Amino acid sequence: MENYRHLKNLDQGTAGRVALYLRRQANCSTPEKVVIKRVDLGGADQLQREAFLKEAEILAGLRHPNIVRLLDSFLDESAGGRQLCLVMEYASGGSLSSLLHQQSGLGLSESAVARFACQLLLALEELHSRQVLHRDLKPDNILLASTARDVCKLADFGLAALRQTSPAKDSPAGSSASGLVGTPAYLSPEVFSSDKLATAGREPSDIWALGCCLYEMCCLRRPFDADTLLLLVAQIAAGSWAPLDPRRYSPLMSDLIAKMLKVDPLERPSAAQLLSHPLILSHLFPLLTDLGCVGLKKQRTKKSSRAKLATTVKRLRCRESGNRSLYLFTAGPDQDSHRLSEIAYDLPHEDLRCAKLFSGDCLIGLTKRDRLVRWDRPGGELGQPPCSWFMSDIVGLDNFRVVQLDCGDRFAACLTDAGVVLTFGCGRDGALGHGDVADLERPRVVGSLAQISVTSVACGRRFAACVASSGEVFAWGCLPAAEAGAEVSATFPTLLPMPSGRCRALSVFAGPEALLVAAETEGLQAALLGTGWNRFGRLGLPESARPLLPQLELLPVPLEQPEESVAAASIAGNRCLLLLTSGRLLAAGRGCAAGFGPLRLPNSSLAVGGVCAGSGWALVATKAEAADDDGGRYGELLTLLLEEAGGGDGELRPLLANCRVRSLAADAAGARAAILCRRCRDAGGD
């Protein structure tokens, strides 16, 4: 042991104590971290000791990227006893079990589960081809190679055994593959069945345990679990387990697990057969090229004809459909002083669905593949060339499919397809809803809403709000209090009382110190609720009489048709604009008559498809007759200077020529806006 230095104890493994050591080697100047498992041989007889040593020799010959490698084995008699020491490679990412415990209510994504399944099937195929059985496959014994946690390794072979076609009569107990060993919740039915004892503890038992592990990755619970061993055995023998969530996992994933959890071991596919499953095949080739069994150096090679063809097709598609563009709009005191800054982005395999302003120097985009990306401008004046913005991924959302995004003042909230809310950014005033004011770099599930299915989310300048599927409204952060001039910071989501009369909230819109809720009454009539500061009467009520609405109240909105309702709202510091489903645009606040009224546009026949307002300006996107093949819903983008008196008497000017707008979003201060559009090709262009 003179070449090993003890660092710390790790765990008590199945067959011995486990500790972390530094190993020094003569041919290597840098010591490496290794794990040493000590097996006490004091109570073992000669046959058992030989079995242990033979097992160590077999494992030492395994070389596979998904099996923890046995580096060395020796007998240590320095501590007054005889201990078999197994020197294993160190996996710094922890165990799969610890990764699952860190999940916030939702299992791993299907792609992550499939990637782990590929690696574990490859490991089992290698073991079984060498007649080695693991017999204790569970999340605790699956290690993650690094902190990236994308490569897993099968570990803890304390109960592993050599498969014997006909065990010798004098072979020691536990040396063959038969016998009741392992963790009960992961044991296969044949282990408890006397008529199937011949197949117990063989390859199908490892496949069954892997199926249990995959199920646990998806559901964060075991497929078979009970308070007593008798009930657990009954569940396993029946082979009945709750189905996977169809909203998160495809039928292929359910089929893969069902094949592994066949009650009859003869119907259970082998690891080699499962590697040809459609779900596994879709992840197998990228996995093999990423991992490999030998270290290959990457070399620069010329582009293949196939790669060149893909590049050519991509360019032709871009030329045919037009270029995607992202702009930062900065309002000026008049029409001539408005500025546009183009932000270059390159997403070769996907496109953006919307973009929001996180701060004056940061934008966040939601892609069509439900991924979040961000652009940061290190410094300098607005209007810098596109190369001054830097794009990066927002990590921590691998297990979620984001469908909605909104931003406040340096914080953001996103909603998943499963109705889960995640927040990140600046935690001032409790705006993240986690019960504190700590900042978060990575998105985290709002725990208080974990049991609630959320359908809509929005962020104000210093608060956020959401609507539950039950029609209730929750808000957190800096909220207006019942007394004028006071503020309350709710660090956890707080249920907002609804006005008298039964109303059901549908969607929520937020702005500086104000919240609007599109709702429907008990008679299915459209309604608009509001709360917050009523500056300049922007909430549709006289400011002199109602400067503050401390609770949600029914707001007067003139709806001309029974089916007309509020489709979108943009709240600025001194004004509020409502876009109705009919395409009409209503306004309230500074320069407008009392209450919500039609915004006087220079072109009265203009059909509005989208709107975004700040203090003294508005961006208006015309309504397209039909969505194009790129998903654009709006047509031409126009700017309108909202005068301090007279509402929309200012001139309506084109802002971007030959563009189809995808999304518009103002920042929390109402000074800037993010514009996502597609620059269409001129009719006379080449």
161 & 274 share domain: yes
Instruction: Determine the residue type at 620.
Output: V
Q: Look at 16-30, 41-55, 654-668 and tell me which has the smallest mean pLDDT.
A: 41-55
Number of domains composing the chain: 3
Residues serving a catalytic function are: 136
CATH label of the domain that carries residue 54: 3.30.200.20
Q: How far apart are CA 496 and CA 519, in angstroms?
A: 14
Structural domain includes residue 159: yes
Inter-residue contact 149 to 173 (CB < 8 Å): no
Structural domain includes residue 488: no
pLDDT band at 627 (very low <50, low <70, confident <90, very high): low
pLDDT band at 214 (very low <50, low <70, confident <90, very high): very high
Q: Is the pLDDT of residue 369 over 60?
A: yes
Antiparallel, parallel or unpaired: β 152-154 and 652-656:
unpaired
Q: Is the pLDDT of residue 260 over 80?
A: yes
pLDDT band at 290 (very low <50, low <70, confident <90, very high): low
66 & 114 share domain: no
Cβ neighbour number for residue 424 with a 10 Å cutoff: 22
Inter-residue contact 518 to 507 (CB < 8 Å): yes
267 & 317 share domain: no
Q: How far apart are CA 186 and CA 212, in angstroms?
A: 6
381 or 89, which is more confident: 89
Average pLDDT of span 445-469: 93
Residue 529, Cβ density class (10 Å: 0-12 exposed, 13-18 middle, ≥19 buried): buried
76 or 357, which is more confident: 357
pLDDT band at 162 (very low <50, low <70, confident <90, very high): low
DSSP state of 329: E
Q: Is the pLDDT of residue 160 over 70?
A: no
33 & 111 share domain: no
Q: Is the pLDDT of residue 310 over 60?
A: no
Whole-number pLDDT of residue 370? 77
DSSP state of 428: G
Q: Is the pLDDT of residue 332 over 80?
A: no
Contacts of 294 (CB under 8 A, 6+ apart): none
Structure tokens at 475: 């808000």
Whole-number pLDDT of residue 375? 86
3-state helix, strand, coil in the chain (%, to 5): 20, 35, 45
130 & 242 share domain: yes
Q: Could you tell me the sign of the dihedral formed by the alpha carbons of 335, 336, 338, 344, in that order?
A: positive
133 & 245 share domain: yes
Structural domain includes residue 123: yes
Cβ neighbour number for residue 518 with a 10 Å cutoff: 22
Average pLDDT of span 301-315: 42
pLDDT band at 576 (very low <50, low <70, confident <90, very high): very high
Whole-number pLDDT of residue 483? 41
Whole-number pLDDT of residue 7? 86
Alpha-helix runs per DSSP H in 261-304: 271-274, 278-290
Inter-residue contact 268 to 206 (CB < 8 Å): no
82 & 109 share domain: no
CATH label of the domain that carries residue 120: 1.10.510.10
Strongest mean pLDDT among 2-16, 203-217, 511-525: 203-217
Question: 């006490």: which residue's tokens?
Answer: 40
Inter-residue contact 17 to 8 (CB < 8 Å): no
- In sequence order, the β-bridge partners of residue 28 are 25
Whole-number pLDDT of residue 348? 52
2 or 293, which is more confident: 2
Annotate 357-396 with three-state secondary structure.
Answer: EEECCEEEEEECCCCEEEEECCCCCCCCCHHHCEEEECCC
Whole-number pLDDT of residue 249? 93
Average pLDDT of span 440-468: 92
* Direct distance between the N- and C-terminal alpha carbons of the chain, in angstroms, rounded to an integer: 75
| Closest by Cα among 54, 58, 14 to 38 | 14
Half-sphere exposure of 492 (CA within 13 A, CB side): 6
What is the DSSP annotation of 559-617? -SSTT--EEEEEE-SSEEEEEETTS-EEEEETTS-SSSEE---SSTTPPEEEEEE-SSE
Structural domain includes residue 206: yes
76 & 99 share domain: no
Domain boundary among 24, 56, 90: 90
pLDDT tens profile 490-504:
899 999 998 876 789
Q: Look at 36-40, 91-95, 529-533, 595-599 and tell me which has the smallest mean pLDDT.
A: 36-40
pLDDT tens profile 114-154:
999 999 999 999 888 888 888 889 999 899 987 666 789 99
What domain range is 227 assigned to?
A: 92-167+174-293
Radius of gyration of the CA atoms of the chain, in A? 31
635 or 134, which is more confident: 134
Structure tokens at 366: 């939601």
Structural domain includes residue 633: yes
Structural domain includes residue 399: no
19 & 136 share domain: no
Q: How far apart are CA 596 and CA 607, in angstroms?
A: 18
295 or 404, which is more confident: 404
Structure tokens at 621: 């996107």
pLDDT band at 341 (very low <50, low <70, confident <90, very high): confident
Q: Is the pLDDT of residue 545 over 70?
A: yes
What is the DSSP annotation of 513-542? TEEEEEEEETT--EEEEEEEE-GGGTTSS-
Whole-number pLDDT of residue 623? 76
Residues in the chain: 686
Q: Is the pLDDT of residue 586 over 70?
A: yes
Domain boundary among 90, 113, 128: 90
Average pLDDT of span 671-682: 76
Instruction: Determine the residue type at 627.
Output: A
Structural domain includes residue 329: yes
% of the chain surpassing 90 pLDDT: 27
Structural domain includes residue 404: no
Whole-number pLDDT of residue 350? 61
156 & 195 share domain: yes
Q: How far apart are CA 664 and CA 667, in angstroms?
A: 10
186 & 328 share domain: no
Domain boundary among 34, 62, 90: 90
Q: How far apart are CA 562 and CA 576, in angstroms?
A: 23
Inter-residue contact 504 to 519 (CB < 8 Å): yes
pLDDT band at 406 (very low <50, low <70, confident <90, very high): very high
Instruction: Determine the residue type at 675.
Output: I
34 & 98 share domain: no
What's the whole-number average pLDDT of the chain? 78
Inter-residue contact 458 to 512 (CB < 8 Å): no
Inter-residue contact 253 to 260 (CB < 8 Å): no
pLDDT band at 49 (very low <50, low <70, confident <90, very high): low
